[in-house]
Structure 1
Amino acid sequence: MTNQNISELLFKQLRNELTPEEAVELESWLKQSPANQQLYDEINNIPALMEQVRVYGLAEQEVNDSWAKLHARYLMEYPAYKRREFRMRVIMYTAAAAVVLCASLLMYWWLKPAKPSPHTPVVAKAVQHDVTPTTTHAYLTLDDGTSIRLDSLKAGLLATQGNVQVTKQESGLLSYTARTGAPGDRSMTYNRISVPKGSDVVYLQLSDGSNVWLNAESSIKYPVAFNNEERKVEITGEAYFEVAKSHGKRFVVSKGNMSVTVLGTKFNVNTYENENDIKVTLMEGSVKVQQEQVAQIIKPGQQAVVKGPSINIESDVDMHQVLAWKDGKFLFNNTNIQQIMRQLERWYDLSPTQFENEAVKKWEFNGEISRYSNASKVLELLEKTGSVKFIVEGKKIVVKPI
């Protein structure tokens, strides 16, 4: 594959215009060497590219120049309530162009043919002072083992599994729908979506119309079509479900020996291995939570806490905090620092946090901030309490008392 071909594929991926065939071709190139994967990750790390734009003054200068030229006409022609919207468009378009420029330069320097030189050049890299949330790097694994990187594909038909079509919508939603006029197929075909650490939330619509949101470091295995009396899926990590009613056909979410059984409802399941308990939180309807031989029915506003063989019911639950991840926020309400840092580790793809002493691990914090902020902004929010300090060393964070 020539450098020109690679550049075209990378640009198409950046614009979400890859065909399924091109996505497979790009995936093959990525597996050829760690350097290829590194280039791909750097091009798709939009916050980091924007930081480079800021460092070199490109975006700021472009925006200022554009604004100076348009300012007089803008004030005369646009009413006050439209001015914020107009300026945001100028900034967005200019920033987008700057990002493409940076990506172009990055690809040029990576892919250009090497020239012989009598001396080995010394390359100084920009110091990374922050950790940014990355883009979606989720994978869809088809029944035959084919793996598709979801963020590299443009909207459209991704695959056909039996009598079901897998489609990526413009919104990013991955949906499963039966082909019109296709004969019935009783065989069970399974797909899996894997969302690694450092990835955005993935939104999925199953063939029965049920909607699923997957958090970072999570996965779901499911039939492409539900043919039996039971609609069963398996998860790891955290997922939020809005289950469609289906004529008495129960819906089952399982993780190991734990299962949640419903007919039609909205609920959140947190099964992360590094959390102390499995938590099932109900927003609407009714569910049965079962762990081996123990079962409990919970009502809206309640949370089932599964610890070992036991299930405890809690009624004083902050629903906004439970669903903050789905709404694009970090929301802390007397939240333990260890739990907070585990959330940051999953979202920003960080190494396990180090605590300077055991006393720090007991502290609790309150606050709310967008999950699309850089890690430093989240840490600054916590540092405003005046009780804690964070040292960022690459992907490792050290927590110290003040």
Structure 2
Amino acid sequence: MDQHAAITELLFKHLKQELTPDESATLSAWVAQSETNRQFFDDLTNMPALMAEVRAYKEGEQLDLEAAWTRIKEIGWEEPVVQSKRIFRMNWLVYAAAALLLIMTSTTLYLLLHSDKSAAVPAVIHAQQSDAKPSSTHAYLTLDNGKTIQLDNSSGLLARQGSMKVEKKDNGALSYSSDGLASSEKPLYNKVTVPKGSDVVYLQLSDETKVWLNAESSIRYPVAFKENERKVEITGEAYFEVAKSKGKRFVVSKGNMSVQVLGTKFNVNTYENEADIKVTLLEGSVKVQQEQSQKIIKPGEQAVVNGAKINVVSDVDLHQVMAWKEGRFVFNNTNIQLIMHQMERWYDLGPTQFENEAVKQWEFNGEISRYSNASKVLELLEKTGAVKFTVEGKKIVVRPL
């Protein structure tokens, strides 16, 4: 398949939220290749209402293929090599048309601002694009001997740790696999650290468990799991797709809090400047434990850990919870303080200063690409007519209008 066709298919699946982990990593690598790619990605994903149309698209529905093809020519894409199979070209055009619906129609972003759930002030905002940030994944890997490897500047085989090879794949993923040599008797540990201002890091552990790390996060883990318990330690936020391993439970810990699973998909948010630790389950079943308290949650539920207490919240907005992994800011009755925490981590800003206590109570609804410049995100929030931002170096001052 031609590269343009392949990327268009990935964009289409991204908009429908159907990407596999490997496909997601491939698309992220393509977006990071150039400013043109990132700009095009932003054009497609900064239009929430139209994204919903593409997600609702079903195979067999009629799309305006000629309009799509005209638009493809306008942005400089060449027709793929089709050889003798006309149906290949038509299938690619269907994907292209679905993805390009977002460019061929209006580009408006609707934001709702309100201070309580009983009153709302709507604002219609025209999404504008700018240079993308963050522009790199300046995370680093710390080996068992203390050596650090900058992941941005690395590719291929990075190290050998006991019987395991540590590699940076073409799609940007950090991967562990056996090199066939005799295993070390001593347990070896590695750590991946993702600082503020860094893009998301994707890694695959030795048991094939997949992990995504958000900015200002870290994970410490055994290079090879040898005990009956597969245990890792995190800070910040991470999403796990745990591989099943008979008789070996998987444990994620942060201080006294632990999440215990056998095979499942879940998100853990443990940021120090957040009031609670939040464990959100997408598939399977997990047990969340904090000191003497424990809860088992089901898909769509969230365990909220505060002190020694664990509360379970049902009907969680999974789209909002997982937005960071999909390259989005999604606000759903989100307090301005939480919004600013996200921006501080993603753009390496802060600390945010609020001019008075009243402005801390504002809440927002809305959605925008995280790859837009920070100033554009602030500009969109300002256009609601309720707040004003002043940037002083890395510090942001928030004032009411």
TM-score by length of structure 2 reads: 0.69
Q: Which one-letter code corresponds to 2:334 in the other structure? A: T
- Residue 153 (structure 1) aligned with residue 140 (structure 2): no
Who is 1:380 aligned against?
Answer: 379
Alpha-carbon contact 1:367-1:381 (below 8 Å) kept: no
Q: Distance in 1 between matches of 2:33 and 2:167?
A: 25
Q: Which one-letter code corresponds to 2:151 in the other structure? A: L
Alpha-carbon shift at residue 214 of structure 1 (Å): 0.1
Who is 1:213 aligned against?
Answer: 212
Alpha-carbon shift at residue 133 of structure 1 (Å): 2.4
Alpha-carbon contact 1:267-1:281 (below 8 Å) kept: yes
Alpha-carbon shift at residue 388 of structure 1 (Å): 1.1
Q: Distance in 1 between matches of 2:233 and 2:295?
A: 20
Name the CA shift for 1:174/1:130 in 2 (closer, same or farther; >3 Å).
closer
Alpha-carbon contact 2:131-2:372 (below 8 Å) kept: no
Alpha-carbon shift at residue 89 of structure 1 (Å): 5.0
Who is 2:349 aligned against?
Answer: 350
Alpha-carbon shift at residue 397 of structure 1 (Å): 1.0
Quote the sequence identity (%): 70
Q: Distance in 2 between matches of 1:163 and 1:177?
A: 8
The aligned runs of 1:173-322 (5 Å cut-off) are 173-180=173-180, 182-322=181-321
DSSP-derived class of the 2:377 partner: helix
Alpha-carbon shift at residue 276 of structure 1 (Å): 0.3
Who is 1:340 aligned against?
Answer: 339
Alpha-carbon contact 1:141-1:147 (below 8 Å) kept: yes
Alpha-carbon contact 1:220-1:234 (below 8 Å) kept: yes
Q: Distance in 2 between matches of 1:131 and 1:284?
A: 33
Name the CA shift for 1:240/1:344 in 2 (closer, same or farther; >3 Å).
same
Who is 2:142 aligned against?
Answer: 141
Alpha-carbon shift at residue 172 of structure 1 (Å): 0.2
Alpha-carbon contact 2:136-2:199 (below 8 Å) kept: yes
Name the CA shift for 1:131/1:265 in 2 (closer, same or farther; >3 Å).
closer
Q: Distance in 2 between matches of 1:395 and 1:46?
A: 25
Who is 1:170 aligned against?
Answer: 170
Name the CA shift for 1:144/1:86 in 2 (closer, same or farther; >3 Å).
farther
Q: Deviations 1:200-232 (Å, cap 9, x if unpaired)? A: 000000000000000000000001100010000
Q: Give unmatched runs, 5+ long, in structure 1.
A: 1-43, 52-78, 91-128
Q: Distance in 2 between matches of 1:138 and 1:132?
A: 15
DSSP-derived class of the 2:152 partner: helix
Q: Deviations 1:142-176 (Å, cap 9, x if unpaired)? A: 1111100001113x111110100011111100000
Alpha-carbon shift at residue 87 of structure 1 (Å): 4.8
Higher helix share: 1
Who is 2:47 aligned against?
Answer: none
Of residues 182-191 and 344-353 in structure 1, the stretch that sits farther from structure 2 once superposed is 182-191
Q: Deviations 1:307-361 (Å, cap 9, x if unpaired)? A: 0011010003100000000000000000000000000000000021111110000
The aligned runs of 1:25-104 (5 Å cut-off) are 81-88=68-75
Alpha-carbon contact 1:131-1:348 (below 8 Å) kept: no
Q: Distance in 2 between matches of 1:369 and 1:300?
A: 26
Q: Distance in 2 between matches of 1:130 and 1:229?
A: 48
Structure exhibiting the larger radius of gyration computed from Cα positions:
1
Q: Which one-letter code corresponds to 2:315 in the other structure? A: D
Who is 2:4 aligned against?
Answer: none
Q: Which one-letter code corresponds to 2:145 in the other structure? A: D
Alpha-carbon shift at residue 390 of structure 1 (Å): 1.1
Q: Distance in 1 between matches of 2:291 and 2:375?
A: 43
DSSP-derived class of the 1:380 partner: helix
Alpha-carbon shift at residue 85 of structure 1 (Å): 3.7
Q: Distance in 2 between matches of 1:398 and 1:250?
A: 46
Alpha-carbon shift at residue 130 of structure 1 (Å): 9.2
Alpha-carbon shift at residue 384 of structure 1 (Å): 2.5
Runs of 4+ in 1 over 2 A off after TM superposition: 44-47, 79-90, 129-134, 182-187
Q: Which one-letter code corresponds to 2:154 in the other structure? A: L
CA RMSD of aligned residues (A): 2.4
Name the CA shift for 1:161/1:84 in 2 (closer, same or farther; >3 Å).
farther
Name the CA shift for 1:89/1:141 in 2 (closer, same or farther; >3 Å).
farther
Q: Distance in 2 between matches of 1:321 and 1:258?
A: 23
Alpha-carbon shift at residue 86 of structure 1 (Å): 4.7
Q: Deviations 1:279-328 (Å, cap 9, x if unpaired)? A: 00000000000111111111111000000011010003100000000000
Q: Aligned pairs, how many?
A: 292
Alpha-carbon shift at residue 131 of structure 1 (Å): 9.1
DSSP-derived class of the 1:331 partner: strand
Q: Distance in 2 between matches of 1:86 and 1:146?
A: 49
DSSP-derived class of the 1:378 partner: helix
Q: Distance in 2 between matches of 1:224 and 1:314?
A: 35
Q: Distance in 1 between matches of 2:134 and 2:145?
A: 32
Q: Which one-letter code corresponds to 1:327 in the other structure? A: E
Which structure's relative contact order is higher, taking Cα pairs within 8 Å and 6+ residues apart?
2
Alpha-carbon contact 1:186-1:227 (below 8 Å) kept: no
